[in-house]
Structures are given as structure tokens and as C-alpha cells.
Amino acid sequence: MAGKKILVVDDHQEMVDLIEESFRLRGYQVVGAANGQEALAKVYQEKPDLVLLDVMLPLIDGYEICRTLKFNEETKHIPIILLTVKGNESDIERGFEVRADGYVVKPFEPSELTEFAKKFLK
């Protein structure tokens, strides 16, 4: 699994750095994006094996990014895990309605996230 590429999308650079460090220590390549437009561009440029996507983003929210990617023939196969503080049942349901593959509520332990993500990187 080492060498797989992960796109981390979050408008808080500290969060991107934390996740990036956790995955790089395990041999993954990590690319970051700070907003929705940048995220969509990087998916097409970088062709990641997994997207870790915050829900509350400037320009385009994570739900809309997920919907866009999952309803596109070129990108629908890329697993997307939503990462968010929005942890109530309706938020989680909305995440799965836009075809997210996983949903992780912040705060989380980086090691737990990497373990959870492994099943999507096979």
C-alpha cells in the first residue's frame, strides 16, 4: 500500500499537516488542497487513490465535491472519506446520500484515521 496517493482537503492547514504527517510516516504520498475548487482540480491532476475531504470548505462544500466526483465516470471509483465536525445523524446521512465511502467525525486520532483508510487503499 505504500506509495498510494492521498488527497487531503481541509481549509485549516494544521489539519492538513497533521493528517499528512500521519500518512507519510506510513509510506503514503500526500497532496493537500485548501478549498473546493482546488480539490476538484487536484483530483484531475493528481489522480489520488483516496480523498480525505472536509465538509465545511470555502467555495464548494465537501458534500458537493463528493457528489461531483461520485457522479463522474472518470472519478467515481476514487474512495472518499468525509472528515468533519458535523456529527449528527442527518449530516452523516447526507454524506452517504452523496455516495461518500466513509465518514469520520472530528476530533479523531490520526492513527485511527490511517487504519480506517487502509481498507479503501487495497
What is the chain's pLDDT, residue by residue, as a tens digit (122 residues)?
A: 568 999 999 999 999 999 999 999 999 999 999 999 999 999 999 999 999 999 999 889 999 999 999 999 999 999 999 998 877 888 889 999 999 999 999 888 888 999 999 999 97
Query: Which stretch of DSSP H or E encloses residue 32?
Result: strand 29-33
**Kind of pairing, strands 50-54 and 5-9?**
parallel
Q: Which of 31, 26, 27 is nearest to 6 (CA)?
A: 31
Burial group, residue 90, by CB count within 10 angstroms (0-12, 13-18, 19+): exposed
CA pair distance 77, 54, nearest whole angstrom: 19
CA pair distance 32, 49, nearest whole angstrom: 13
At which residue does the C-alpha cell 465535491 appear?
A: 65
Number of domains making up the chain: 1
Range of the domain at 102: 5-118
CATH code at 109?
3.40.50.2300
Using only C-alpha atoms, the chain has a radius of gyration, in whole angstroms, of 13
